[in-house]
Amino acid sequence: MSFEIGPMVCSACNMWEIRDIVGVPGDYVCRKCVQLQLLEDRIERLELRLDSYRSTHDVEKLVDSTYSELVTPQVKGKRTERERVATSQRSSRQVVQESPAVISLRNRYSILDTVEGDGSSGECSSSQVHGTMGGSAAQEGRKKSGRAIVIGDSIVREIDRHFCGRKRDSRMVCCLPGARVRDVTERLQNILEGEGKQPAVMVHIGTNDIGKKRDEVLQGEFRKLGDKLKSRTSKVIISGLLPVPWASQSRNRRILQMNTCLEKWCKGEGFKFLGHWNQFWGRWEQYKQDGLHVGWNGTNVLGGVFASAVGEH
């Protein structure tokens, strides 16, 4: 094997070093510059994480200050009023005997609906349903038009406060932690049972499928889900997958490619597609520390987009 020793100039720092120059490209970069670039990349990632921690700390301070300004004065005012009444009663030395008050207690809300998993997938065992009604009021409300429901994996767990808001009689969030596309397809009929005619159904699913099966297989499972949705309602909304902080470049590239395929598929099926990539890419402060689920800021954004989307139907 032939080799030739000579000086090589680094294209990054313009410094030279003696090394084997056989087969070395013209844009040669020395080891020190490579290590420096790796260090800068790591510092950039650490700064992003630090910004996320600072954002969380700012939210906690805002909550604490809001509580101090709004809740604490009311608590102190009620306490002062009770003390004043107690003092007045002691000074008048009047003892009033009254029969114990009878307070009628009743449950205004029925137990929230729960969809138990069949354990077939091994990853989706339970669901969390928010914004539902109970009893005859639920049946009457669900018969009315304008019902809207979000079905998804754990990404949608905490969006009900923004999506449902004051419309909890007509909107619902069904969270299936760990669910995949086929899990939603299998449970769709049970989830939508009693939701009336033509509800607006939004589905956010697929994060747990990326990287675990080929893209063409996943696209086929989405088509099966779409067929089942069309047989139930004409108001179908598909929510695009979110980027994953700290994930590899190849994984985020596959997510972006899947979103492109889903958008094209939705146009052909007459579904509405919601893309969130520009709202979340690079804005890692909107995620929790686990680097997957959206945090307080993220649920504000996602819940608001979902609410606006179903409002158009």
What are the pLDDT digits (tens) for 271-291?
A: 999 999 988 988 889 899 888
Nearest to 225 by CA among 245, 202, 250: 202
Q: What is the pLDDT of residue 33?
A: 80
Residue 43 has pLDDT above 60, yes or no: yes
Q: Where is pLDDT greater, at 113 or 297?
A: 297
**237, β-bridge pairs:** 202, 272
Q: Where is pLDDT greater, at 75 or 280?
A: 280
Q: What is the pLDDT of residue 97?
A: 44
